[in-house]
Amino acid sequence: MIVKEIRSYYKNRKDNLVLRRRFPYQFKLVEHYDSSASSHYWKKIIQIDGRVRKIYFYHHRNKDGLIYREEQIGRKTFERYKGREDKLVYRSVTFNPDWTDKKEKDLMINDNHLASGGTKNKGEAVILKMTQKFGLDADITAEEQVRRTEFNLSKGRVYIYKHYNSGRITTGSETYIRDELIGGDAKVGGDMNDKDAQESQKAQTNKRILEMERRCHEQIKEQEKGALAETNWKLEFEKNIQQLRQNNNTETLFSKILEKTIYDKARDKMKQGKKADEEETLNEKEKDYLAPILKKLGFGNQDLNEEAAIMVKNEALRNLKERLLTRAEIIQRRLETEQSALEAAYANLKRKGENSTQEDEKNYEREVQKCNFKIEILTERASTHYKQSLQKFEQLNERLNNDARLAAINKKNQ
């Protein structure tokens, strides 16, 4: 029997991995992820025999707009973007890990795969070419916007291409010699004023092109740094799993690997709420509960006459009522939020109508299940709060009636 594919399904992992597919005879590994900020919004990762790694991201990864990254290991890396303010849609860098002939004007990059391999050059590689592509801004004339930039360091050339105007099949392009940009221009003959103006204009152009190159280089280095941090996070996660499989079943390892379900999180939150209520009740018993009210109304800690005692008692009951109502309003607002989310999910599915897919229906069912569970928890919390509010109000009223400083009210009642 020849095994073509091995599938492993996962649940409640902190990296949000849900499916891993191995293709033994293709030396390929494919991993599918649920959307989550904790896993850097990975959607799918494909690795082929240490030669290629492809990472697909969910489109709502708003940190940098990255939606796709492909690493042709030891040769080239390119990325695709969406929704960026600078209109960048594509960027690539081609490099050479063998930099024995490195020159002073060469730019360098840290190749993550070389770095992890522990090579003598610590992962550094010489950049051969950097390319960027930009989308069109409808508010600016097309021919004024850069469509593509290519910094070809191996050829010593810089190419700038502009966008096409509507109805045009040709567009503007510029070519520069990189050494001249860095080292200055040749002498210009003619009138001195014209010469100064030309030199000034060329200097500004050179500065602008070099700034574009510098910014492109810096952004590439920043992306590689971020990609390395994400890769290291994944390696550390897999390392924790290996330790867990070696019977090191510590609670710390479980907390690093497994994500609590929404039901467990809700129960924990409810327990914390009850604990906070108990601590609040304990603190109220330990401290002088009337001290802030007496200070607010301008009374000392002495026995009060009947009118003053009534004022203090009413103020104490009113303060408690406001606190209880505020908490009830918070719970009610959360309930309304979940109900609105439920209605929005239904409206979204209804809007798609016949165009809705099975995946849309599954997402809707998951959203309904999640919202209903939260609504159930919040409803139970509201009911509990109502019962506790009545108890707290009765307890405070009894405490006030037995307080020696309010004896004037008690005598009248007797």
Task: Examine the domain organization and report whether 248 and 379 are in the same domain.
Answer: no
Of 134, 316, 320, nearest to 216 by C-alpha is 134
Of 257, 282, 317, the domain-final residue: 257
pLDDT of the residue at 189: 39
- Residue 109: inside a domain, yes or no? yes
Determine the residue type at 215: R
- Say if CB 66 and CB 81 are below 8 A apart: yes
Question: Does residue 291 sit within a domain?
Answer: yes
pLDDT at 63: 77
Residues of the chain with pLDDT under 50: 117-121, 185-192, 286
Burial class from Cβ neighbours inside 10 Å (0-12, 13-18, 19+) for residue 104 reads exposed
Please report the pLDDT score of residue 253 as a whole number.
66
pLDDT score for 386: 87
The DSSP secondary structure of 7-33, one letter per residue, reads EEE--SBTT-EEEEEEEGGGTEEEEEE
Residues 47, 78 within the same domain: no
Q: Which of 257, 284, 313 is the last residue of a domain?
A: 257
The total number of structural domains that make up the chain: 3
Distance from the first to the final alpha carbon of the chain: 95
Query: Is residue 166 situated within a structural domain?
Result: yes
Share of the chain above pLDDT 90, in %: 28
CA–CA gap between residue 309 and residue 104 (Å, rounded): 87
Do residue 104 and residue 28 come from a single domain?
no
Residues 349 and 210 in one domain: no
pLDDT of residue 76: 94
The structure tokens listed for 116 are 């992890």
Output the average pLDDT for the chain: 82
Find, among 121, 117, 118, the residue nearest to 100 by Cα.
Answer: 121
Q: Supply the pLDDT for residue 119.
A: 43
Instruction: Output the pTM of the full model.
Output: 0.61
Distance CA(393)–CA(380), nearest Å, equals 20
163/219 same-domain check = yes
Give the residue from 215, 234, 257 where a domain finishes.
257
Q: What is the pLDDT of residues 247-279, one digit of tens each?
A: 766 666 666 777 766 666 677 677 776 666 666
> Are 106 and 178 found together in one domain?
yes
Q: Quote the CA–CA distance of 318 and 95 in Å, as a whole number.
A: 73
The verdict on 88 and 28 lying in the same domain is no
Q: Is the same domain home to 85 and 233?
A: yes
Q: Are residues 248 and 271 in the same domain?
A: no
> For residue range 336-372, what is the model confidence (pLDDT) as tens digits?
998 888 888 888 888 877 777 888 888 888 888 888 8
Domain that holds residue 245: 73-257
Say what the pLDDT of residue 8 is: 94
Question: What is the reported pLDDT for 394?
Answer: 87
Residue 68 within a domain: no
pLDDT tens sequence across 363-414: 888 888 888 888 888 888 888 888 888 888 888 888 888 877 777 776 655 5
In terms of C-beta density within 10 A (0-12 exposed, 13-18 middle, 19 or more buried), how is residue 204 classed? exposed
149 and 23 in a common domain: no
Does one domain contain both 222 and 321? no
Which pair of structure tokens corresponds to residue 162? Answer: 């502009």
Asked if residue 111 and residue 221 are part of one domain, the reply reads: yes
Q: How far apart, in Å, are the Cα atoms of 269 and each of 367, 373, 389? A: 20, 14, 20
